[in-house]
Amino acid sequence: MTSNFQTSLQKINRLQSFIALFLLCTLLTILTDKFFTPENGLNVLRQVAVNICISVGMTLIVLTAGIDLSVGSVLALCSAVAVGLFKNGIQIPSLNLFIGFTVLGAVVAAVVIGLLLGYFNGWVITKFHIPPFVATLAMLTIARGLTMLYTQGHPISNLGSAFAFLGTGWMLGIPVPVYIATTVVVAAIFITKKTKLGRYIYAIGGNEQAAKLSGIPINQVKIKVYAIAGALAALGGIIVASRLDSAQPNAGLSYELDAIAAVVIGGTSLSGGKGTIWGTVMGAIIIGVLNNGLVLLNVSPFWQQVVKGSVILIAVAIDKAFEKRD
């Protein structure tokens, strides 16, 4: 009897994100007739695409028992650089040289910069044994300052239809950001399920000392996951800039909190070693649906923050309760 009860609890634990999303959607459908429509559904998916990109990278880090507070600032810096390169290129007067960038060239450059910033985070954490919280908090400030210096505190606007397509375009009736987020999710699931890197990530988060004794290159794996997270933050920044038709120097504020919330609500343990990419996707969708529903219900933005914080707290409490029962 006890065994059957524990099995049932484990099944509920695995499905808790789905159950929460279903109950939330049901409640919002009852409260407002504007929620359960195809147009609103696509709008929610477009809105959550950025958080999904960032949250996937955050999940890989949290699975190693780390954290990255810098993703919002990295997003802002990389989006500003991408837009600046696309619009103004690189001018070297002393050589009488001008280097122009296509949309693809600007996107690649931004993603590479994001990857390098993430790589630097991982290198500092592993080389100097600095806690991830402290190291990435420092990068949060550095990247935000560099963004302000690059933009001089002003938005870079009027990007044109080619760049805007990445954030506002449609393909086969589905927003382009949804395709981008889906590609990221599929790639991340493949990495975690089918590659040596994925097995190493879970092993490090489960027991770092045992993983080290098993010959797993701890530092290399950590650097790689922080680099991936940086690149995905940059990709999210491209979507944000193209959707707004400008790079805002204050873009990405509190995005790291939404990413952490998605990871936690999706069932990934902050202690590492436990969680899935798919769970994080569900967590991001829950946050997006919650935000969308509160807006449709005309709830004050201030109360929205209170509700979101409460949901995160409840999600962590439920996760800890199930951990004690396991």
Q: What's 241's domain CATH number?
A: 1.10.3470
* Model confidence band, residue 3 (pLDDT cutoffs 50, 70, 90): low
pLDDT in tens, 125-171: 999 999 999 999 999 999 999 999 999 999 999 899 999 999 999 99
Which residues constitute the domain of residue 124? 32-325
Question: Above 80 in pLDDT, residue 22?
Answer: yes
Is residue 22 one of the residues assigned to a domain? Answer: no
Contacts of 57 (CB under 8 A, 6+ apart): 68, 71, 118, 225, 228, 229, 230, 231, 232, 233, 259
Mean pLDDT over each residue of the chain, to the nearest integer: 92
* Of residues 325, 181, 209, the one with CA closest to residue 272: 209
Is there a domain that residue 1 lies in? Answer: no
* Model confidence at 9: pLDDT above 70: no
pLDDT per position as a tens digit, 174-194: 999 999 999 999 999 999 999
pLDDT at 325: 63
- For residue 10, the model assigns a pLDDT of 57
What torsion, rounded to 10 degrees, do the Cα atoms 294, 295, 299, 305 define? 70
pLDDT digits (tens, 9 = 90+) for 57-111: 999 999 999 999 999 999 999 999 999 999 999 988 888 899 999 999 999 999 9
pLDDT at 323: 65
Contact 196, 217 (CB under 8 A): no
Is residue 158 helix, strand or coil?
coil
- How many independent structural domains does the chain possess? 1
Q: Report the distance separating Cα 177 and Cα 45, nearest Å.
A: 8
Alpha-carbon gap, residue 156 to 10, rounded angstroms: 50
Is there a domain that residue 67 lies in? yes
Better-scored residue on pLDDT, 309 or 233: 233
Nearest C-alpha neighbor of 107 from the set 73, 82, 89, 90:
82
Q: What does the pLDDT read at residue 324?
A: 65
Predicted local confidence at residue 7, as pLDDT: 58
Residue 202 above 60 pLDDT? yes
Whole-angstrom distance, CA of residue 308 vs CA of residue 51: 15
CA proximity to 118, closest of 219, 225, 223, 230 = 230
Instruction: Please tell me the predicted confidence (pLDDT) of residue 16.
Output: 79
- Answer whether residue 7 is part of any domain: no
For residues 45-68, average pLDDT: 97
Could you tell me if residue 51 is inside a domain? Answer: yes
Is 267 a domain residue? Answer: yes
Residue 161 lies in a domain: yes
Q: What is the average per-residue pLDDT within 254-267? A: 92
Six-digit token string for 126: 């592993």
Predicted confidence band of residue 322 (pLDDT cuts 50, 70, 90): low
For residue 25, is it within any domain?
A: no
The alpha helices in 15-160, defined as continuous H runs, are: 16-31, 38-63, 71-88, 103-128, 132-151
Threshold 0.85, pTM exceeds:
yes
- Residue pair 286/17 in contact by the 8 Å Cβ criterion: yes
Per-residue pLDDT band for 6 (boundaries 50, 70, 90) equals low
Could you give the CA distance from residue 232 to residue 118 in angstroms, rounded to a whole number? 10
